[in-house]
Structure 1
Amino acid sequence: MSTPTYTGNVTVGGPADVRELPGLTISKVAVSEMANNAYLLRATDTGEALLVDAAAEPETLRALIGDANLRTVVTTHGHWDHHRALPDVVRESGAVTVAHPADAADLPVPVQRPVEHGDTVTVGDQVLEVVHLRGHTPGSIALVWHGPGDAGVHVFTGDSLFPGGVGNTQKDPGRFTSLIDDVEERLFAVLPDDAWVYPGHGSDTTIGAERPHLAEWRERGW
């Protein structure tokens, strides 16, 4: 059941926020003491599903998945708080694990399908593009879905882009420069202002809402 108006504002222990779009239903839930976001993408025509970040709370994710045919779990990066439920989810669903090879060693299960920048991942008849964003971790990735018709563009950024800035690079100038360069070149330079951003923690945003602040972020260095 879709909520009347999707906001992307979810709380740990609270219900999922559900967005029904042409071709895809996106369900967002917050889990764990780190308030991680997990996203279930379900193809309208086939019922096949993809989970972005099996972060924690297998029972919460089990309820999120419901009767969907979970085929794929994409882990956006190797940090521990984004994959604690991955072994349970994979064991129960048989879903294929997807991540960038640079972060694969940090995951608790083998990565069955390593992906690089420019690769694609499918959920039913819908296609998501893999965007490698180096800096928060070496293998951080985003997924970009160009929806059919008026569905718009939707970007699942993990911990590489949030409202108000890029992800944490531990005050390392090299990592920060790498990340903001990739975010500028691989997201802001190619995506429209109304592209919707779904981050790994917290509220959603849009490319247009964040674009005016890029120079400010670069100047402050985080």
Structure 2
Amino acid sequence: MAGGSRVRVDHLVTSGTFSLDGGTWEVDNNVWIVGDDTEAIVIDAAHDADAIAAAVGDRTLAAIVCTHGHDDHIDAAPALAARTGAPVLLHPADLMLWKQRHPDVEPDAELADRQVITVAGTELTVLHTPGHSPGAVCLYAADLGTVFSGDTLFQGGPGATGRSFSDFPTIITSIQERLLTLPARTLVRTGHGDDTTIGDEAPHLEEWIARGH
């Protein structure tokens, strides 16, 4: 595809808090920027709109994509949108989580399963992967050999399901049917922590299931 050879993935880590169910925790979040020298998208505008805008630089920001609605992944999204004019995209099943953080601001557009987002000639396919939250999604970029997993899959196992709006059997089904079916060499770029690969995580599915019961 045109521009595909120039596409790169930039990464920064931002720090802040995650709040849900009356608790608050300190967290470090991965922010992913996919694009070339002229345009990009941001995956999860976490905590620091200034730092994310600086990493985008003078490129056109085509979209701010939210992997889910937990506040640590969306807290900087409205400020970054206001600064850049980029639309904020969120799966509608997580709107109630978004509203807990941003009651007076709506996302600009909805994400849907199998929707294709194109940036700099590279396609990212939206995979609806509920479980960590009802509207959680991952973004699969076949050309880049990577999937941006948000908080659905980490190095070492599934995302947390112990809080409101989450469900362990659902996240296991999502991972099994939507992620472990990707090529084994696919790089998993996560919402927190280190990268992994589908091939490294797939053999542990039965362990996760046993651990979750």
TM-score by length of structure 1 reads 0.83
- Cα deviation, residue 104, structure 1: 2.4
Counterpart CA distance in 2 for 1:210 and 1:101 is 29
The secondary structure found in structure 2 opposite 1:194 is coil
- Cα deviation, residue 23, structure 1: 4.2
* Counterpart check, 1:146 vs 2:142: yes
* Counterpart check, 1:181 vs 2:177: no
**Which whole-Å deviations, capped at 9, do the CAs of 1:85-125 have from their partners, x for residues lacking one?**
11110001000111101012432332222122111111132
Contact 1:176–1:221 at 8 Å: present in 2 too? yes
Query: Among residues 10, 28, 32, which one is paired with 1:35 in the alignment?
Result: 28
Query: Among residues 57, 70, 94, which one is paired with 2:85 in the alignment?
Result: 94
- For structure 2, the residue ranges without an aligned partner over 5 or more in a row are 17-26
The secondary structure found in structure 1 opposite 2:193 is coil
**Which whole-Å deviations, capped at 9, do the CAs of 1:158-208 have from their partners, x for residues lacking one?**
000000000100089x8111111111111112x111100001001101001
Contact 1:43–1:126 at 8 Å: present in 2 too? no
- Find runs of 4+ consecutive structure 1 residues off by over 4 angstroms: none
Match of 2:117 in 1: 121
TM-score by length of structure 2 reads 0.86
- For structure 1, the residue ranges without an aligned partner over 5 or more in a row are 1-20
- Cα deviation, residue 154, structure 1: 0.7
Counterpart CA distance in 2 for 1:30 and 1:73 is 16
Counterpart CA distance in 2 for 1:165 and 1:213 is 8
Match of 2:23 in 1: none
The secondary structure found in structure 2 opposite 1:127 is strand
Query: Among residues 1, 5, 8, which one is paired with 1:25 in the alignment?
Result: 8
The one-letter code matched in structure 1 to 2:42 is L
The secondary structure found in structure 1 opposite 2:167 is helix
Match of 1:169 in 2: 161
The one-letter code matched in structure 2 to 1:121 is I
The secondary structure found in structure 2 opposite 1:54 is coil
Counterpart CA distance in 1 for 2:10 and 2:119 is 14
**Which whole-Å deviations, capped at 9, do the CAs of 1:32-76 have from their partners, x for residues lacking one?**
1410010111136xx211000001112211211111111100011
- Cα deviation, residue 22, structure 1: 2.7
The secondary structure found in structure 2 opposite 1:35 is strand
The secondary structure found in structure 2 opposite 1:92 is helix
Q: Which structure: greater helix fraction?
A: 2
Contact 1:23–1:126 at 8 Å: present in 2 too? no
Q: CA RMSD in A?
A: 1.7
The secondary structure found in structure 2 opposite 1:90 is helix
Counterpart CA distance in 2 for 1:50 and 1:167 is 24
Counterpart CA distance in 1 for 2:173 and 2:46 is 27
The one-letter code matched in structure 2 to 1:142 is C
The one-letter code matched in structure 1 to 2:129 is L
The one-letter code matched in structure 2 to 1:73 is I
Query: Among residues 82, 100, 108, which one is paired with 1:112 in the alignment?
Result: 108
